[in-house]
Amino acid sequence: MAVNARDASHFLRRVGFGGTPAEVDHFVGREIPDIVSEVLDLVPDLPGQPPFVNADVSGEWDAHTAGITWWLQRMVDSSWVDRTSTTPSPLQEKVALFWHDHFATGQSKVEKMLAMFQQNQLFRSTGLGEFEPLCQRVSVGGAMLRYLDNETNVAGAEQENFARELMELFTMGIGHYTENDVVEMARAWTGHNTVGWDDSCFCHDTTYRFNADRHDGGPKTIFGITQNWDGPDTITEICQGVRRQETARFIVRRTWGFFANTQPSDALLDELVNVYTGGGRNGGNLTMKELLRAIFEHPMFWSSYRQLVKTPTEYVVDVLRRTGRRADEISARWYMGFMGQTLFDPPNVSGWGENGYWLSTATAWGRSRFAADIRWSLAEDGFFAELTDMPASQATQVVFDTFGIELPSAVSRSSLENWFGETRRVNADWAIPSGAIMLGVLTPEFQLA
C-alpha cells in the first residue's frame, strides 16, 4: 500500500516526534515495507559524552538540568531528511525514551549524572537489539544498582527491591512469580554491588563491582528450579527458559502500547509474540527491531490514527521542531515538569503512565502555561505575522498545516475561524499572531499522536 500524507504524518509521530512537511513528503507515495525498512535500518548516530556528566557532587543538579536540555535538543534536531553523519535518528531517540520509561531510574536518587547518561547511551546504542543482553547490562549498570538498592544487597542482609521489580516491572509482570521467588531472587543478586562511597570526592562511585565474599553461593529455588543461582542466570531463565512466553508477552504489550495503542487484542498479542519469540523472521532471538517491524507493518498500527495522547516530551519536541525554537531558549525542561514529565527523573520505579495518564487538569494547565509563554517570543520574531491580513478560513488552514493537523474536527475548524473573525471584529489584529500560536499548540488534535 502506498502511503499518503495522512499516513506519513501518523507514521512520523509514532517513529519519532512528528514530521515536518519535508519529512512527510519524503515518505508519501512509497510502500509501507520500504519506509519501515528505511526507519529500522538507518545507522544511528551515537553521541559522545557531554562534558556536563562529569560534574562533581556539587554540580549534579546542574548536570541533571543540562542533561534534560541536551536530550530534548537531540530529539528536536533528529530528522529523516537532509541527514549528515551526526544527525540523530528520531527512532533511536524514541526507542531510548521507551526504554527510559520501561527501566525507570531517577537522578534524584542515583545522584550521578554520568551513570544516568551511560544508561541512556545504552538504550540508544542497543535498544533495537535483543532484550536479554539489554536487560543484563541495565541490571548491572550503576544507575539501576543504585536506584533499586542492589548496591547494598549482600548475603545475610538481602535487599529485595531490585529482585521484585526485575520480575514485576521489567520482564514478566504481576502474577508470574511468588513471594518466595522474590526472596530467592534477592539472594541470587547478592554481591552485585557498586564501588560505593568515595571519600576522595565525597560522593558515590556507581561503577559495578561483584563482591564474591558478599554473594550467597548456596542453592536457591526460583520458578521451582533449585540450583546455585547467580543474578545474571535468573535473567537468562526469565528470557529464555520457563518464563520466556510470559516475558515476551509482557514486552510486546508494553511496546505495542507505546508505539501503537493501549488496547491490543489477545489475538494480536499472540501474533506479535510469535514474531518476538522466533516464530517470525528473527531466527529465535528476542529482537526489538523485528518486533517493531511487525508492529509498523501491521494494519492495526495504521488504523490507530490519533489514538495516543502525546507525552510531554513528544508534545514539547514537536512544538520546538515546528517553530524553530531550541530547548535551551525557552527552558523547555522547566515547563515539562509542570506537564508531569521530567526526563531522567520518573515519578517512581513504574515510570510514567501512558495515554490517559496525561489527561488531567494539572497536565492541561502545564501545557497551557507552556503555550502561553512560548507564544510571545515567537510572535515577537514574526511567527504567524502573515495571518493578520488573511481571511479567517485561510489563516485557520495555515495554523493546521503548521502544526501538522491533517484532519481537524469540524469543531476545531469552526472554533478557530470564529476566533479569527471575532478578534478582527474588535480591532485586536495585534493579538492574532500570538493567539494563533497558542491556539494551534492547544488544539485537541495536536495533543494526540
Question: pLDDT of 223-267, one tens digit each?
Answer: 999 999 999 999 999 999 999 999 999 999 999 999 999 889 999
Contact 123, 146 (CB under 8 A): no
Kindly report which listed range (49-53, 324-328, 418-422) carries the lowest average pLDDT score.
Answer: 49-53
- Label residue 200 by pLDDT band (50, 70, 90): low
Tell me the angle at which helices 332-339 and 312-323 cross, rounded to the nearest 10 degrees. 140
pLDDT at 203 over 90: no
- Please determine, for residue 63, whether its predicted confidence score (pLDDT) is greater than 80: yes
Residue 76 has pLDDT above 70, yes or no: yes
Q: 232: helix, coil or strand? A: helix
More confident residue, 402 or 280: 402
Q: Could you tell me the three cell numbers for 359? A: 489527561
* pLDDT score for 58: 59
Identify which has the larger pLDDT, 350 or 204: 350
Residue type, 431: A
Lowest mean pLDDT among 98-107, 141-150, 259-268: 259-268
Distance in angstroms (rounded) separating the CA atoms of residues 161 and 342: 23
**Amino acid 52: pLDDT:** 83
pTM: 0.95
Residue 319's nearest CA partner among 362, 366, 352 is 366
CA distances from 73 to 46, 327, 438 (A): 14, 6, 22
Instruction: Report the C-alpha gap between 90 and 12 in whole angstroms.
Output: 9
User: Could you please report the per-residue DSSP string of 43-58?
Assistant: ----PPPPGGGG--GG
**pLDDT tier at 280, thresholds 50, 70, 90:** very low
Helices marked H in 127-265: 131-139, 142-147, 161-165, 179-188, 231-240, 244-259
Q: What is the mean pLDDT of residues 441-445?
A: 96
In angstroms, how far is the first alpha carbon of the chain from the final one? Answer: 21
Give the Cα separation of 195 and 213 in Å (integer): 14
Q: Is the pLDDT of residue 51 over 60?
A: yes
* pLDDT tier for residue 279 given thresholds of 50, 70 and 90: low
